[in-house]
Amino acid sequence: MLSKIYSAAVSGISAIPVTIEVNVSPTGRETAGRMVIVGLPDNSIKESQSRIEAARANSGLSLPPQNVTVNLAPGDIRKEGTGFDLPIAIGILAANFMVAQDKFSRFMILGELSLDGSLQPIRGALPIAIKARELGYEGLIVPQQNVYEAAVVNKLKVYGATTMQQVMDFLNGIPDVLHPTVVDTRAEFYAHQGEYDIDFSEVRGQESVKRAFEIAAAGGHNLIMVGPPGAGKSMMARRLPTILPPLSLAESLETTQIHSVAGQLKSGMGLITERPFRSPHHTVSQVGLAGGTSQAKPGEVSLAHNGVLFLDEFTEFSRASLEILRQPLEDRKITITRAQGTVEYPCSFMLVASMNPCPCGYYGDPYHHCTCSPGQISRYLSKISGPLLDRIDIHCEIQAVPFAELSKMQPGEPSSAIRERVIAARKIQEDRFKPYKGIHCNAQMTERMLHQFAEPDAASLDMLRMAMEKLKLSARAYSRILKVARTIADIAGSEKVESMHIAEAIGYRNLDRGDWAERGVV
Ligand SMILES: Nc1ncnc2c1ncn2[C@@H]1O[C@H](COP(=O)(O)OP(=O)(O)OP(=O)(O)O)[C@@H](O)[C@H]1O
Ligand SMILES: [Mg+2]
């Protein structure tokens, strides 16, 4: 007897429909049956045989000895993951007339089985739900832990189940076993959008660094902080999402899909409402950062999509890990080549990095003695390659505020006030870049756009030339300065980039200065 169930596999951040055909044929009384799964399954699917048999037996369902053939179609795509356990199990039961097949064509079914017959969460429920609706399915049956992420999709009945038995009973028409989870996605999203439990007002003093953060947020510029331990670098980086424009519904859907495919959404969680903030440790593997090669999984760069990737102790990351960042920073997507073909994940993030100025951490600190030689300091800095530094528009030096002063200071400006200025500056950029596809903010300007939108007048150009010579700035600093100056002008509501905007922008190129290791004070 044959049965046919509908399910789906994930590729990148979209889903591909998979039809599961199950055929059973009885064997002789003494011969144990065997199960064969064909259609390019990976090892985790091949293992499902043991899980399915145990789950069935522990659910009190017995079958006669039989040979089972499972075909996963289309046969030319490699399927991976544990989500096919449930549909295969249901298919076997249906082929044995234990589950009615009349509803099969209306539902997509997915779920991993535990040995006791309960269901475990799967990865990618959201993109699968999107595909199910697109293909006109009436509903989707997933493990209960995945129900909220899938229920984000409207006009699709999403049923969350906790055991295989429940799914059987539901398909057999037993009333009140499963109920669709209904979520008013828009209302839920806007009710919780941009709720952060941290705020910039908690950062006391540090006005110049906050200003740098505001400029970075306004123009979408990557930023690196250089400063001694305890200066508040991590504290401020964490607060960057709170001054970025709120996540739009479309952005949220993209980001949530990535987290869904990575299996990072907590049970009971629907759309992500805050911009992600990812801070992988410097020992992170290249796969952890970029994404999986043997197991298709988005990495940290993609989990930070539409948010912030914070690399603390920047110089401690391996050279290879840092070099990986170059393509994603440029293309805003990452392509991963695997034995089974390539996958692509979006990864448009703001990079915030932090580092100490020297190996001991105290170069230029007025309160501590630095024990490093100029040679050590420049060697330390050279750990970051020029091409990577090229992609970071704002370099920002930071000093610790002494504790005695910290306690006397007033709370700073709240994130909401800073965010308003950021939003206003972004609006100007949106209008400016309307004719240019894929360009949304000043940080993304091409060389040609720079001439068009940020060309300094003759006097400013003279000043810039002089400053570059005096500070021994490398040539690559030039276009960075113009980009940042364009953002500073936008915050000020100025149509033209003026010399004061350029003067401020010059101050954000410290790491390009040829005399970094020779200065007495940073
Ligand atoms: N300007 C500040 N306002 C309020 N609190 C501050 C400020 N600077 C530092 N702190 C306090 O000091 C703690 C340490 O700051 P943080 O961890 O951000 O420092 P850091 O620069 O990242 O240091 P490290 O280099 O050791 O990682 C913060 O959690 C905060 O409590
Ligand atoms: Mg820190």
Q: 296-322, pLDDT tens digit by residue?
A: 789 999 999 999 999 999 988 988 888
Residues 122 and 223 in one domain: no
Per-residue H/E/C for 188-231: HHHHHCCCCCCCHHHCCCCHHHHHHHHHHHHHCCCEEEECCCCC
The parts of the chain modelled with pLDDT lower than 70 are 29-32, 293, 513-522
Residue 67 inside a domain? The answer is yes
How far apart are the CA of 408 and the centre of ligand 2, in A?
23
Residues 25 and 145 in one domain: yes
How far apart are the CA of 362 and the centre of ligand 1, in A?
15
Residues 176 and 44 in one domain: yes
168 phi and psi, to 5 degrees?
A: -60, -50
The reported pLDDT for the residue numbered 30 is 65
Which CATH number is 398's domain given? 3.40.50.300
Q: What is the DSSP letter of 518?
A: G
- Alpha helical stretches, state H, 386-521: 386-390, 403-408, 415-432, 447-453, 458-470, 477-491, 499-506
Q: Is 23 in the pocket of ligand 1 (CB under 6 A)?
A: no
Phi-psi region of 364 (alpha: psi -120 to 50; beta: other; left: phi over 0): left
Q: Which ligand is nearest to the CA of 230?
A: 1
Atom of ligand 1 lying closest to residue 409 CA? 3
How far is the C-alpha of 189 from the C-alpha of 480, rounded, in Å?
A: 36
Helix 207-219 to helix 415-432 angle (10° resolution) is 30
Q: Is 73 in the pocket of ligand 1 (CB under 6 A)?
A: no
How far is the C-alpha of 383 from the C-alpha of 416, rounded, in Å?
A: 37
Residue after which a domain boundary falls, among 408, 438, 468: 438
Residues 157 and 257 in one domain: no
Residues 7 and 134 in one domain: yes
Cis peptide upstream of residue 456 (ω within 30 degrees of 0): no
Q: Is 361 in the pocket of ligand 1 (CB under 6 A)?
A: no
CB atoms within 10 A of CB 316: 14
Residues 348 and 240 in one domain: yes
User: Look-up: residue for tokens 């960042």?
Assistant: 325
Tell me how many helices (H) and strands (E) the chain has: 22, 16
Atom of ligand 1 lying closest to residue 206 CA? 1
Q: Are strands 157-161 and 139-143 parallel, antiparallel or unpaired?
A: parallel
Q: Is 234 in the pocket of ligand 1 (CB under 6 A)?
A: yes
How far is the C-alpha of 418 from the C-alpha of 439, rounded, in Å?
A: 23
Residue after which a domain boundary falls, among 385, 414, 438: 438
H helix or E strand, kind and range, residue 134: helix 125-134
Residues 205 and 315 in one domain: yes
Q: Is 402 in the pocket of ligand 1 (CB under 6 A)?
A: no
Q: Which residues contact 106 (CB under 8 A, 6 or more apart)?
A: 137, 138, 139
Atom of ligand 1 lying closest to residue 227 CA? 21
The reported pLDDT for the residue numbered 401 is 83
Residue 380 inside a domain? The answer is yes
474 burial via Cβ count (<10 Å: 0-12, 13-18, 19+): middle
The amino acid occupying position 511 is L
Q: CB within 5 A of ion ligand 2: which residues?
A: 234
Atom of ligand 1 lying closest to residue 202 CA? 4
Residues 179 and 213 in one domain: no
Residue 193 inside a domain? The answer is no
Residue 327 inside a domain? The answer is yes
How far is the C-alpha of 369 from the C-alpha of 16, rounded, in Å?
A: 60
Give SS3 for 350.
strand
Which CATH number is 118's domain given? 3.30.230.10
The strands making up 35-38's β-sheet, listed across from edge to edge, are: 35-38, 66-73, 14-26, 2-11, 107-109, 139-143, 157-161
The reported pLDDT for the residue numbered 113 is 96
Residue after which a domain boundary falls, among 380, 413, 438: 438
Residues 313 and 420 in one domain: yes
Residues 357 and 411 in one domain: yes
The reported pLDDT for the residue numbered 522 is 37
Residues 384 and 245 in one domain: yes
Residues 204 and 278 in one domain: yes
- CA angle (146, 148, 151) in 5-degree steps: 105
Residue 465 inside a domain? The answer is no
Residue 497 inside a domain? The answer is no
Per-residue H/E/C for 138-178: CEEEEEHHHHHHHCCCCCCEEEEECEHHHHHHHHCCCCCCC
- CA angle (234, 240, 241) in 5-degree steps: 125
279 burial via Cβ count (<10 Å: 0-12, 13-18, 19+): middle
- Determine the structural domain holding residue 377 and report its residue range: 200-438
To test the ligand 1 pocket, which listed residue (234, 310, 312) has its Cβ within 8 A of the most ligand atoms? Answer: 234
Q: How many structural domains is the chain composed of?
A: 2
pLDDT digit string, tens, across residues 92-115: 999 999 999 988 999 999 999 999
**Residues forming a β-bridge with 18:** 7
Q: Which ligand is nearest to the CA of 355?
A: 1
Residue 490 inside a domain? The answer is no
Q: Is 509 in the pocket of ligand 1 (CB under 6 A)?
A: no
Q: Are strands 333-338 and 341-346 parallel, antiparallel or unpaired?
A: antiparallel
